[in-house]
Structure 1
Amino acid sequence: MKTSKWIFSCIASASIAFGIVACGSSGTAPENGVVVSGAVPTDDQIVSAWDYLYGRYLVLQQENHDINVEKVGYNRIKYNPLGSAQFVNPNLDVAYLEAWLAADSSHAVILNVPRVTGRYYTAQLLDGWGEVITNINERTYPDHPYGKFALVIKGTHPPVPADAVKIELPSPKAKLLARVELKGSPKTAVRLQHQFTVDASPEIKIDPPFDVPEFTPAAPIRAEIFDHVSEVLATCPDPMPKAPELQALASNVASYVKSSAAARARVDDLIRTRAIPEFFAGTKGFGTQKGGWSVSYVVGKFGDDVMARDIINYGGLWANVTSEAIYFVGQKDGNGQPLDGSRTYEIRFPKGGKPDAHVDGFWSVTLYSVPDYRVVPNAMHRYNINNVSPLKTNADGSTSIWLAPVRPKNAPQSNWLPTPDGKGFSLNFRAYVPKQDVLQGEWFPPPIALAK
């Protein structure tokens, strides 16, 4: 069985590289919204069908890697090590855990969530298209924010503990990704991390990952994407409102591909020369931009935006909904110039305007080198500044975060993030449980200003 080399850390790096863009179009829709079965598809229809399927194949590729290469298994939690910075795009603010969960018609999977107070946490469940099913926390389940949660396949009725909240899954499999805020006490966060557990019967019947051809981020899958359309679509229902229309389109293109060698060659060439270049062009957009920051407001729940789902799955698989987290990516200064680690920059929050007032969870700024998106080694081992950092205020009551290869003379050491001298760098400003002004695009971090 061929397996993917696409690992979670590579996906995370691309989320920085591409800014997790928001896309206004969802690819070209079938002409007049109608697909005539057996008709020769137009170029636009072929591109649209590839766009639609690609997002699902990215998830299938990750499942194949996790199960067949990493050997993580199903219904077993992987507790990611805390504080390690030796991988791409690390988030040093939370303790992570993840798992592939699988139920069947006769058995529920029980997820045990510990009681977490005074710090951010969520247990995020996603489907096979990268869409968020739900988040388990005190915001989504205020009457049952912790305890037992019975995950069952929609339409089935296996035994469920009386003290468990039932959550319906759209298909037998779901991805779990949970986070617990460190908040200055990592030992407590780790203890809570390991209190997330799964109880599952060994009798659960689990299908292996659907085998997919090998492809890479630089060389996406081409005509092979149409070889098993009916089987792929049967693995997981798609919540996208236009899914029936798009699936009919994909099925028609699949039939056309099988009709002749010439048809297959035409489709493969069109994917190579148009669909893939157009996709890559979309990844270079940066959503909404201001002061050197860019942000997407389309994650987790994509509506009918096929291209947004593709780009998020390509660049930030397992992204959460914006009500849980918004990511501002900084790769330019306020004048639109790429960030340069040899120079000095200031992010100045006005008096009374620190990010704390704009989130109900927490915030942080993490600095990465580019193009590898790893933390920048420094003597302080400081890679981020967040809401629990002991920041000092300026004389006028404002608060500055300084970015420079050497600490500026007027900068308190607590407010300084070292940059890579002579190299570019990138910032990720994470806002967990953003308030309405952030969600509605009314608040951005202050500009990344080149210091005078």
Structure 2
Amino acid sequence: RAALTPAAAATEAAHQAAMDGYLYFYPLVTMDLTRRQFTHPSQGAQGAPSNAFLHVRALPQPGAAAPWANPDMLRSTGWLDLTAGPVVLSVPDTQGRLYTLTLLDMWTDVFATLGKRTTGTAKGNTVIVPPGWTGTLPSGMARIDAPTAHVWAKALIQTGGLADYPAVNALQDGFTLTPLSQWNLPAQSQRVKSDPNLDLKIPVREQVESMPTDAFFTYAAELLRKNPPHATDQPVLAPLRRVGLIPGRTFDFDRLDHPAKQGMRRGLRAGRERMEAAAGGTLRAVNGWQQETASIGVYGSAYLRRALAAQAQPGSGLPEDLAVLLLAADSQGAPIDGAHRYVLRFESGQLPPAGALWSLAAYDGQGMPVANMLNRYALGDRAPLRYNADGSLDLHVSHAPPAPEDQANWLPVPASGPVTLLLRVYEPGPALLDGLWMPPPLVRDGPPPPAEAAHREETLDGAGMTAP
């Protein structure tokens, strides 16, 4: 291979640095735009100021839900601003009720979780401390050191539906954020900063993926001044230094020479192309179900994986708290369509390995819950399900009601068109986390009843054949 000219070598070096840098910075830029949109004063009931929670008080209903809405939990979300000092996170006594409160840094890494699985359900106050803080905390308060000065807090609290809302809403009010400097003082009104340069109409992902090269890396460098990199990030930061992007300093794209500018523009495009090509590449498919096999919530130096997670679902928590599996195809590999009847059979002893609970929810082609006569959008272990005599469980997925004796196990879907099922497993066991357990296939028009299936298998075996 012929040696590159100095200009070509500079272009190639800038190309590689920008490609890797785009993947590295994508989550940071995504998180900051998400934070700024959520805390903007004009958001009203769709957001909240820094150091305050927005509580969603009811489960989503058809026509008024975000895509893939959770049918089991009410949500509370807030952004902590630690730039002026620590913030006290207070949680109520949920008296054994399941909840998970996830804390994410600006790199989308989960650095702490509170809740039934990790800290229990007792009342308590925890101080979230910014990097480099050396003050003294009040006695009796736990301390968690945040890697960055802004933190995303996301809480999920179990609810039993409409009749349970008052109890859950009262618990939500017990989740509060208070600057340590105001602890035990009368509540003070917050001084909200204006943010005139923020676009509130264009979704965050669209903004990030349409930024020109100079704007993207200038913004990223500014964020890097406020959000220190991890100690293990040196290999991706060193090449960026050679094009003038140095942690702790502003970045001036206009000062670069032409080869470096050209290389960075090409590198940013290459980074976007890498993300597009790799999307979905770590999904494992068994029986039509898709499960993410790559790490979620903590990414280390897997920058492409972290960028893809921030692109698909920023703010993902740990799979140890919640695992979600998606089904879009039946046992024959055909798309699920509301025009057909289906049965999902869990054999005896093969129910989802949930330490807390599990649920199966149905969505239409846009990821929305579908109106139905029962106002039922999910089935799970909290429902009065009817089990077969052999201990197996048949869940009926269809638009038309099944036989009366099966309606306790009926999950309604649209009359026609695409259907997607999501299985949520809270506090999943090792069998699921390690890929040793997967849900059964969804069978169109249903499998034979348990007794008939057993008789058929016995007949085939008696003829010296292997049952299919």
TM-score range, shorter chain: 0.7 to 0.9
Residue 407 to residue 281, structure 1, CA distance change in 2 (3 Å): farther
Match of 1:412, SS? helix
Equivalent residue for 2:217?
Answer: 226
Q: What displacement does 1:401 show?
A: 1.2
**Are 2:152 and 1:164 equivalent residues in the alignment?**
no
Match of 2:355, SS? coil
Q: What displacement does 1:437 show?
A: 1.1
* CA distance in 1: counterparts of 2:419 and 2:111, whole angstroms: 34
Task: Read off the aligned partner of 1:264 and give its amino acid letter.
Answer: K
Equivalent residue for 2:4?
Answer: none
Equivalent residue for 1:441?
Answer: 435
* CA distance in 2: counterparts of 1:276 and 1:39, whole angstroms: 18
**Are 2:316 and 1:319 equivalent residues in the alignment?**
yes
Equivalent residue for 1:74?
Answer: 50
When structure 1 is superposed on structure 2, of 92-101 and 195-204 the one drifting more is: 195-204
> Cα deviation per residue 1:221-276 (whole Å; 9 max; x = unaligned)?
3412122443221221344x64122123344456695414564355335534x332
Q: What displacement does 1:134 show?
A: 0.3
Equivalent residue for 2:78?
Answer: 99
Normalising by structure 1, we get a TM-score of 0.82
Match of 1:97, SS? strand
Match of 2:428, SS? coil
Please show how residues 30-69 of structure 1 align to structure 2 within 5 Å.
41=13, 43-68=15-40, 69=42
* CA distance in 2: counterparts of 1:249 and 1:344, whole angstroms: 56
Check whether the contact 1:325–1:432 (CA below 8 A) recurs between aligned residues.
yes
Please show how residues 365-444 of structure 1 align to structure 2 within 5 Å.
365-370=360-365, 372-409=366-403, 412-444=406-438
Residue 41 to residue 205, structure 1, CA distance change in 2 (3 Å): farther
Check whether the contact 1:50–1:250 (CA below 8 A) recurs between aligned residues.
no
* CA distance in 2: counterparts of 1:315 and 1:43, whole angstroms: 25
Check whether the contact 1:229–1:251 (CA below 8 A) recurs between aligned residues.
no
Check whether the contact 1:51–1:275 (CA below 8 A) recurs between aligned residues.
yes
The equivalent position to 1:364 in structure 2, one of 359, 365, 378, is 359
Task: Read off the aligned partner of 1:288 and give its amino acid letter.
Answer: R
Q: What displacement does 1:46 show?
A: 2.9
Q: What displacement does 1:176 show?
A: 0.8
Residue 334 to residue 352, structure 1, CA distance change in 2 (3 Å): same
* CA distance in 1: counterparts of 2:425 and 2:243, whole angstroms: 42
Match of 1:167, SS? strand
Match of 1:233, SS? helix
Residue 386 to residue 328, structure 1, CA distance change in 2 (3 Å): same
Between Structure 1 and Structure 2, whose CA radius of gyration is higher? 2
Match of 1:231, SS? helix
The equivalent position to 1:245 in structure 2, one of 235, 243, 247, is 235
**Are 2:272 and 1:276 equivalent residues in the alignment?**
yes
Structure 2 runs not aligned, ≥5 long: 1-8, 183-187, 246-251, 447-468
When structure 1 is superposed on structure 2, of 382-391 and 285-294 the one drifting more is: 285-294
* CA distance in 2: counterparts of 1:236 and 1:447, whole angstroms: 45
Equivalent residue for 2:450?
Answer: none
Check whether the contact 2:15–2:266 (CA below 8 A) recurs between aligned residues.
no
- After TM superposition, which residue ranges in structure 1, 4 or more long, deviate above 6 angstroms? 203-215
Q: What displacement does 1:81 show?
A: 2.3
Residue 405 to residue 309, structure 1, CA distance change in 2 (3 Å): same
Check whether the contact 1:323–1:433 (CA below 8 A) recurs between aligned residues.
yes
Please show how residues 164-313 of structure 1 align to structure 2 within 5 Å.
164-183=141-160, 185-200=164-179, 201=182, 217=205, 219-223=209-213, 224-239=215-230, 242-253=232-243, 257-258=253-254, 259-260=256-257, 263-272=260-269, 274-285=270-281, 287-297=283-293, 298-313=295-310
Equivalent residue for 2:124?
Answer: 147
Match of 2:385, SS? coil
Q: What displacement does 1:187 show?
A: 3.0
* CA distance in 1: counterparts of 2:14 and 2:264, whole angstroms: 10
Residue 338 to residue 261, structure 1, CA distance change in 2 (3 Å): farther
* CA distance in 2: counterparts of 1:351 and 1:401, whole angstroms: 13
Normalising by structure 2, we get a TM-score of 0.79
Residue 160 to residue 65, structure 1, CA distance change in 2 (3 Å): same
Check whether the contact 1:391–1:415 (CA below 8 A) recurs between aligned residues.
yes
Check whether the contact 1:215–1:221 (CA below 8 A) recurs between aligned residues.
no
Residue 280 to residue 432, structure 1, CA distance change in 2 (3 Å): same
Match of 1:41, SS? helix
Structure 1 runs not aligned, ≥5 long: 1-36
When structure 1 is superposed on structure 2, of 278-287 and 79-88 the one drifting more is: 278-287
Task: Read off the aligned partner of 2:148 and give its amino acid letter.
Answer: S
Residue 346 to residue 410, structure 1, CA distance change in 2 (3 Å): farther
Match of 1:125, SS? strand
Check whether the contact 2:28–2:220 (CA below 8 A) recurs between aligned residues.
no
* CA distance in 1: counterparts of 2:291 and 2:192, whole angstroms: 38
Match of 2:336, SS? coil
Task: Read off the aligned partner of 1:180 and give its amino acid letter.
Answer: I
* CA distance in 2: counterparts of 1:94 and 1:303, whole angstroms: 29
Match of 1:391, SS? coil
Q: What displacement does 1:39 show?
A: 7.7
Q: What displacement does 1:400 show?
A: 1.2
Match of 1:385, SS? strand
- What CA RMSD, in Å, does the superposition of the two structures yield over aligned residues? 2.9
Q: What displacement does 1:177 show?
A: 0.7
Match of 2:13, SS? coil
**Are 2:127 and 1:130 equivalent residues in the alignment?**
no
